[in-house]
Amino acid sequence: MQIEDGSGPTGSRGRIVMIVDNGVTADSRVQKAAHSAAAAGWEVHLIGRAPGRKSRSWMLGNAHVRLIPVPMTLSAPRRVLRAQLRRPLAYSDEHIAEYRRGLVQARRADLAAGRLTLTAGASSPRAIWLMVRRATAKLQDRWVALRERQTESLTKARQNLNSPLEKLAIRFWQKLLGDRCWRVLDRTLWDWEIAYGKVIDKVRPDIIHANDFRMLGVGARAARRARAQGRDVKLVWDAHEFLPGISPWRAGPRWLPAMCAHEREYSGVADEVLTVSEALGDLLVERHGLRKRPTVVLNTPVTEPVAGGAESAAGGAESAPGGAEPVPSLRELCGIGPETPLAVYSGAAAAQRGLDVMVETLPKLPDLHVALVVSKPKSEYVQNLLARAAELGVADRVTALGYVPFDQVVEFLSAADFGVIPIHHWPNHEIALITKFFEYSHARLPIIVSDVKAMGEMVEATGQGEVFRADDAADYVRAVEAVLTDPDRYRGVYDSRPELLREWTWEAQAEVLDGVYGRLMPADSARTVASVPSAAGTSV
């Protein structure tokens, strides 16, 4: 895809750049937003991260999708405390310690060889000199041994990311720099700026739509650069998560404070804030003192045919989403017939998502098959689940599958008997109806959900499923047996309360999103924009 900043009107309502910190194909929300905005007349450029070193591009309906490499140059562990402060006598590197130890051993070997050439009882100057060298060598040996022990201790201390000294250093930088402390605590945020910044500037957007917390700073700085050049660029921040309530994505105590500080620094720059639930909107207002309440755009499924599906992305392991291919059969992929009861989980796979309970209880649920529809079926966590299934003798009753295109999800999932949301109690899990909840609902599946607040209360209120105590295997078995005993009782809710499904559609949410863009760039102020040619399958 060649990016130009030339002239030539296209009749577009304005140019939008959407930025996201993933490979796009596993993120249904950004795909739906880009597709629907382009269909509504905006010129949309969706920028994400390429899975390797090669850029890729394709068309998603009328939206341009571009994946660019993000070399994580600054991802090496940052030593918040220098070695000299932690262990003053330690060598700065283990290899230096090895070298010094080898040098001492070489000198002692040389001295031993020298003693063999002396006559017993000799008191020549050479013998005296040899005695001095031996004494010096012993002192060197003890000195190097002391520094080696200090080096080993430093190595262990560095491996302990949660040491009191490490936490003390973090508090020091927070106190000294305030919300700017992320520049010391986690410099990987600059890797995204380095990769995306010039690309955004070249597109010359009217609106920058920054998805989630890592993209907020990238979008804010791009908007400031544009305004400094005299262009009135608006920033939309789409907050998908309540950041303080998520499980950290990296080990150690630095990542979460750094991300929170980064979010706080730039949250006030956004002209509009979007989020996924009213509860999360309340938290964002309270946390950041936002001037106005965030607009809620639910991550609901597409229920109408998608025109102009995406073409395949060239040259990569991932494929671009699209509606041209027939919807695969979930049961065929699992190798089961219509008579076999089938439980499905669709979404990200991680320990805090609670998928373990679906595997551990299979010996108590005869004939039940479990389908895990996840973004990375070959991930370590998923492979560990499959290994555990083999240990339990139920390997033939668990299938791990990859995602299907966003406009095929509902039909694909509808082949199951019920959908499962077994997530654990994390603050971020309590506050919203998540994507899979809406997808299961439109697939008219009974839903078995853990007792997290928002979804547990909704299921209890509607009667569309069963709620079980999170991470409680016995209570999960009870819920499954209840649903399998009388599935029509739960499915009937969708017929008796059709207003639920009408509200839970992306088509309805796309109108809300378009209204936000329209407020930022009213029709009478829209300028003609330059065309940015894009050819799917071409190198960038």
Question: Is 250 in a helix, a strand, or coil?
Answer: coil
Residue 300 carries which DSSP code? P
Whether the Cβ atoms of residue 294 and residue 274 lie closer than 8 Å to each other: yes
What token pair was written down for 75?
């991802």
Residue with token string 């106190």 = 175
Structure tokens given for 501: 């499904």
Parallel, antiparallel or unpaired: strands 369-373 and 398-401:
parallel
Cα 160 from Cα 166, distance rounded (Å): 9
pTM of the model: 0.78
Looking at residue 325, its pLDDT comes to 78
User: Which residues neighbour 79 within 8 Å (Cβ) at sequence distance 6 or greater?
Assistant: 158
Instruction: Divide the 540 residues of the chain into consecutive groups of 10 and give the mean pLDDT of each group.
Output: 42 91 94 96 97 94 96 70 66 76 79 67 69 82 84 71 79 96 94 96 97 97 96 97 88 92 97 95 95 94 70 36 75 97 96 96 97 95 97 98 93 97 92 93 97 96 97 97 97 91 92 97 61 34
Q: Are 483 and 464 in contact (CB under 8 A)?
A: no
What pLDDT, on a 0 to 100 scale, did the predictor assign at position 536? 33
- Compute the distance between CA of residue 140 and CA of residue 136 in angstroms, rounded to an integer: 6
Would you state the torsion angle of the CA atoms of residues 269, 275, 280, 285, taken in this order, to the nearest 10 degrees? Answer: 30
Which pLDDT does position 159 carry in this prediction?
66
467, β-bridge pairs = 449
Which secondary-structure segment (H or E) carries 198?
A: helix 188-203
Q: Which of 302, 313, 174, 296 is nearest to 239 (CA)?
A: 296
Q: What is the dihedral of CA 437, 442, 446, 451, to 10 degrees?
A: 20
Calculate the CA 40 to chain-centre distance.
Answer: 29
3-state secondary structure of 398: strand
Q: Report the C-alpha gap between 73 and 157 in whole angstroms.
A: 24
CA distances from 442 to 114, 435, 446 (A): 88, 11, 10
**Cβ(415)–Cβ(445) under 8 Å?**
no
Q: What gap in Å lies between CA 319 and CA 311, rounded to an integer?
A: 9
* H or E element at residue 47: strand 43-49
- Cross-strand bridge partners of residue 65: 46, 58
